[in-house]
Amino acid sequence: MAIEGKQEDTREPRIRLGMVGGGSGAFIGAVHRMAARLDDQFELVAGALSSTPEKALVSGRELGLDASRTYGSYKDMAIREARLKDGIEAVSIVTPNHVHYEAAREFLKRGIHVICDKPLTSNLADAKKLKKLADESDALFILTHNYTGYPMVRQAREMIANGDLGKLRVVQVEYAQDWLTEAAEQTGAKQAVWRTDPAQSGAGGSTGDIGTHAYNLASFVTGLTLESLAADLDSFVPGRRLDDNAHVMLRFAEGAKGMLWCSQVAPGNENGLKLRVYGEKGGLEWAQENPNYLWFTPFGDQKRLITRNGAGAGAAAGRVSRIPSGHPEGYLEAFATIYTEAARAIHAKKKGTKLDKAVIYPTVDDGVKGVTFVEACVASSKRNGAWVKL
């Protein structure tokens, strides 16, 4: 009962969060921490933040973590936190790809929810094993394909599901960057070194790093199932061991056709993720660098601009918007949407209640599809662009 004159606090308690990786100087670790805190759903209380105990301790101190909950390895953290009365309820895994499987396994088998960066794993065998573990665990598995958190991406998905475009025919998606135009990995740049190393990244370079985002975005928005692909992969920078550019033709089970281009050697492109979808009745266009805008063109009519929280925006966009129209929401907010959807799912799981069907987040199944996509691209390119079934 609320005390007279005071409003009862009905907020859910913050979820106790741990983190694997993401120590000093790690870009994506900082992004995950900001996203987790933005909607006040999580509290970081433990971490195995680096590959060495010394660096992990320094990183933990910088983040204000108790030294007793700063661990030298993710396995030590999983074991001890699972035994603590106030141990972590969820863990964020923000390491290079090759660590994802082993780290997630330790937490899943102890019933700790996993929020994992993409791609799911560095190879398909590990992806399938991780799916089996996740399916058998009582814990949830959330994959942070953060671009699915943008309100206008949700708007596009809702419009397509409602039939505004009619039967889909063409899907064009691209993700272009320029930061690997030169051999940055040879200068010792940390982000470039591991992303171009097959032992850490897996079989795909640009396909694994950004191509998986493009593929996931197209699948999320359209609801289509990729049936087969034909890929032409290149490593344009001399000495580079993984692809830095890919052109991929797509055939979907529902009859639509598509093309995917991902590149990290395209000067003038910073973070150019774009999606265009065309059906019998109209088309949609969205670009991540202007994420609050969605262009809709009904066939034979004027091109229309739908803005986040503006006229014409629907419920799917509205429920993941935080501020009024005209104020820009961007990358961190979209990332936070995934964390907040995860929090809703975790709270529902804890209380044993049915999860609202409006809550959407990428799962381990989406992760398996992403790794399958990468390996199919590599296999196709090795066969001179032959069609490969997924």
pLDDT at 145: 98
Looking at the fold, whether 66 and 214 belong to one and the same domain comes out as no
Radius of gyration of the chain, Cα coordinates, nearest whole angstrom: 21
Q: What is the CATH number of the domain that holds 69?
A: 3.40.50.720
pLDDT at 128: 98
Cα first-last separation, the chain: 56
Is-contact 20 99, C-beta < 8 A?
A: yes
Looking at the fold, whether 180 and 83 belong to one and the same domain comes out as no
Instruction: Using alpha carbons, select from 244, 227, 129 the residue that is nearest to residue 176.
Output: 244
pLDDT tens for residues 267-291?
A: 999 999 999 999 999 999 999 999 9
pTM for the model stands at 0.95
pLDDT tens for residues 295-326?
A: 999 999 999 999 999 999 999 999 999 999 99
Q: What is the CATH number of the domain that holds 385?
A: 3.30.360.10
237 φ/ψ angles, rounded to the nearest 5 degrees = -75, 125
pLDDT tens for residues 200-241?
A: 999 999 999 999 999 999 999 999 999 999 999 999 999 999
pLDDT at 26: 87
pLDDT at 10: 61
pLDDT-derived band of residue 3, with 50, 70 and 90 as boundaries? very low
The helix/strand/coil state of 285 is strand
pLDDT tens for residues 180-208?
A: 999 999 999 999 999 999 999 999 999 99
pLDDT tens for residues 74-97?
A: 999 999 999 999 999 999 999 999
pLDDT beyond 50 at 4: no
Structure tokens at 105: 């396994």
Phi-psi region of 92 (alpha: psi -120 to 50; beta: other; left: phi over 0): beta
Residue 235 forms part of a structural domain? yes
pLDDT at 299: 98
Looking at the fold, whether 222 and 77 belong to one and the same domain comes out as no
pLDDT at 1: 33
Is-contact 378 202, C-beta < 8 A?
A: no
Query: Using the 8-state DSSP alphabet, how is residue 49 labeled?
Result: -
Burial pattern 285-321, b for ≥16 Cβ within 10 A else e, equals bbbbeebbebbbbeeeeeeeebbbbeeebeebbeebb
pLDDT at 129: 98
pLDDT-derived band of residue 126, with 50, 70 and 90 as boundaries? very high
- Which helix (DSSP H) or strand (DSSP E) does residue 57 occupy? helix 53-62
Residue 306 forms part of a structural domain? yes
pLDDT at 214: 98
Q: Give the domain extent around 283.
A: 149-323+364-389
Looking at the fold, whether 136 and 67 belong to one and the same domain comes out as yes
Looking at the fold, whether 47 and 163 belong to one and the same domain comes out as no
Q: For the chain, what is the domain count? A: 2
Bridge-partner residues for 116, per DSSP?
A: 93, 143
pLDDT at 24: 87
Contacts of 193 (CB under 8 A, 6+ apart): 185
Residue 314 forms part of a structural domain? yes
Residue 9 forms part of a structural domain? no
pLDDT tens for residues 17-41?
A: 999 999 988 899 999 999 999 999 9
Q: Report the alpha-carbon distance of residue 318 to residue 322 in Å, rounded.
A: 8
Residue type for 176, please?
A: A
Instruction: Using alpha carbons, select from 140, 122, 201 the residue that is nearest to residue 343.
Output: 140
Calculate what percentage of the chain has a pLDDT beyond 70. Answer: 97
- Which helix (DSSP H) or strand (DSSP E) does residue 246 occupy? strand 245-252
Residue 6 forms part of a structural domain? no
Structure tokens at 88: 């972590």
Structure tokens at 128: 């399938």
Q: What is the torsional sign of CA 221, 204, 263, 182?
A: positive
The mean of the pLDDT values for the chain is 96
pLDDT at 51: 84
Looking at the fold, whether 28 and 127 belong to one and the same domain comes out as yes
Looking at the fold, whether 27 and 120 belong to one and the same domain comes out as yes
Residue 5 forms part of a structural domain? no
Least confident of 1-5, 98-102, 117-121, 196-200: 1-5
Looking at the fold, whether 131 and 92 belong to one and the same domain comes out as yes
**Residue whose structure tokens are 């799981």:** 349
Looking at the fold, whether 209 and 290 belong to one and the same domain comes out as yes
Residue 7 forms part of a structural domain? no
pLDDT at 2: 39
pLDDT at 5: 47
3-state DSSP percent of the chain in helix, strand and coil, to 5:
40, 20, 40
Q: What is the mean pLDDT of residues 323-340?
A: 96
Q: What is the mean pLDDT of residues 247-263?
A: 98
pLDDT-derived band of residue 11, with 50, 70 and 90 as boundaries? confident
Query: Using the 8-state DSSP alphabet, how is residue 305 labeled?
Result: E
